[in-house]
Amino acid sequence: MAFVNEDNITDLAMQRWGTAHSPRTAELMSAFVRHLHAFAREVHLTEEEWAAAMNWLAATGQISDEKRQEFILASDVVGLSMLVVQLNNRFSEQATPATVLGPFHIDGSPPAEFGHDMAAGIEGTPLFITGTVTDTEGKPVPGAVLDVWQADADGNYESQLPEIDEARLRAKYQAREDGSYCVRTIAPRGYSIPMDGPVGDLIRTTDISHFRPAHVHFMLEEPGYQKLITHLFQEGAEYLDSDVVFGTKDALVVPFVEHQAGPSPDGGRLDRPFLHATFDFVLEQKS
């Protein structure tokens, strides 16, 4: 092997990582090494800066556990998560666009009937979200599962609260024969991403807003269709144009229309004012 100097180290490291047994790993690691070295050259990385970066990465790992994934948050705030979503969800124009999953989805939410209140007993303004699930030709997709989750009015998700023993602000709805669905919940609020770790420390050194606009998360699944992970955002909400994780899209912003007490979209009646958003999800067929 040639001895190392500043000029040949990148090629040598790429060759070495290009021996990975899986061709894809070889491709990923060689390109990673190439870009990493180019970065260090471009900014002329100092030894102090390199050591600070290593300490920051170590702290990011140390604060992570089965409930908190600080590396995902780091990927979110630099726009990498959203870029990966865009690269891998190039749906046709008619289909509902995808956005970031975020770190707060919990598998195995309980099944919910049409109109079920997934916020029962939780403070907040009632919100109904109704509409249909269809394919890109407008044909209903009966049985499509809509896995829905959101934060409470204080911006906390279930996984951020201690000792919760039943599903909180999450449920799995199903589209009916005509593709219709009805979610009952409470109005979400904009909230801050967790700022008590290394990602927060870094953000505080910038002018970056650490808030997300008010939204409800959806994951739609049905055999034969591409899985859709997306959100609905409240029209007029604060932070729509500065979402810290780059997740907002025009097509996902919907009005939350105010209604007085009276007939409600689940076919019942409500004795207090409520909000109603309508949104028709369009799934892309698998090719």
Q: Which residues of this chain interact with Fe ion, rule CB under 5 A?
A: 102
Which residue number, 104 or 173, has a Cβ lying nearer to ligand BEZ? 104
**Residue 100 contact among Fe ion, ligand BEZ, none, beta carbon within 5 to 8 Å by kind:** ligand BEZ
Q: Which is nearer to ligand BEZ, 47 or 250 (CB)?
A: 250
Report the residue number, 133 or 245, with the smaller CB distance to ligand BEZ: 245
Shortest spacing between CB 244 and ligand BEZ, in angstroms: 7
14 or 78: whose CB is closer to ligand BEZ? Answer: 78
Q: Mapped to the 3 state alphabet, what secondary structure does the chain carry?
A: CCCCCCCCHHHHHHHHHCCCCCHHHHHHHHHHHHHHHHHHHHHCCCHHHHHHHHHHHHHHHHCCCCCCCHHHHHHHHCCHHHHHHHHHCCCCCCCCCCCCCCCCCCCCCCECCCCCECCCCCCCCEEEEEEEEEECCCCECCCCEEEEECCCCCCCCHHHCCCCCCCCCEEEEECCCCCEEEEEEECCCCEECCCCCHHHHHHCCCCCCCEECCEEEEEEECCCECCEEEEEEECCCCCCCCCCCCCCCHHHEECCEEECCEECCCCCEECCCEEEEECCEEECECC
The CB-of-217 to Fe ion minimum distance in angstroms stands at 6
Nearer to ligand BEZ, 184 or 210 (CB): 210
> Could you tell which of Fe ion, ligand BEZ, none binds residue 73, using a CB distance below 5 to 8 A set by kind?
ligand BEZ
Which residue number is nearest to ligand BEZ in terms of Cβ? 102
Q: Which residues bind ligand BEZ (CB under 6 A)?
A: 73, 76, 100, 102-104, 193, 212, 245
Q: How far is the CB of 243 from ligand BEZ (least distance, A)?
A: 9
